Amino acid sequence: MNSSSSPAGDTILDPAKLPRHVAIIMDGNGRWARQRLLNRIKGHEKGAETVRTIVRTSRELGIGILTLYAFSTENWQRPKTEIAALMELLNRFLISERSEMMENNIRLNAIGQIDRLPRAVRLTLQQTMDLTRDKDGMLLNLALSYGARDEITMMVQTLAQKAITGEIDAGDITPEVISEHLYTRHMPDPDLLIRTSGEMRISNFLLWQIAYTEIYITNTLWPDFGKEEYIRILLDFQQRERRFGKV
Ligand code: FPP
Mean pLDDT value of segment 45-60: 98
Whose CA is closest to atom 7 on ligand 1?
Answer: 70
Q: Is the dihedral of CA 143, 145, 150, 156 positive or negative?
A: negative
What pLDDT is stored for residue 243 in this prediction? Answer: 83
Gap from CA of 146 to ligand 1 centroid (Å): 13
Q: Decide whether any atom of ligand 1 lies within 6 Å of the 30 Cβ.
A: yes
CA dist., res. 191 & res. 99, Å (int): 28
Cross-strand partners of 140: 66, 108
H or E stretch covering 54:
helix 40-61
Atom of ligand 1 nearest to the CA of 43: 18
Active site annotation includes 189: no
- CB-based contact 86:55 (threshold 8 Å): no
Choosing from 2, 14, 27, 189, the catalytic residue is 27
Residue 10 has pLDDT above 70, yes or no: no
Choosing from 75, 104, 150, 224, the catalytic residue is 75
Does the domain made of 19-147+192-237 have the CATH classification 3.40.1180.10?
yes
Q: Report in angstroms the alpha-carbon separations of 159 from 113, 115, 167, 170.
A: 18, 21, 9, 8
H or E stretch covering 120:
helix 119-131
Residue range 28-44, pLDDT digits in tens: 999 999 999 999 999 99
Where in the chain are the domains?
19-147+192-237
Atom of ligand 1 nearest to the CA of 222: 10
Gap from CA of 9 to ligand 1 centroid (Å): 31
Residue 1 has pLDDT above 70, yes or no: no
What pLDDT is stored for residue 11 in this prediction? Answer: 63
Mean pLDDT value of segment 153-171: 98
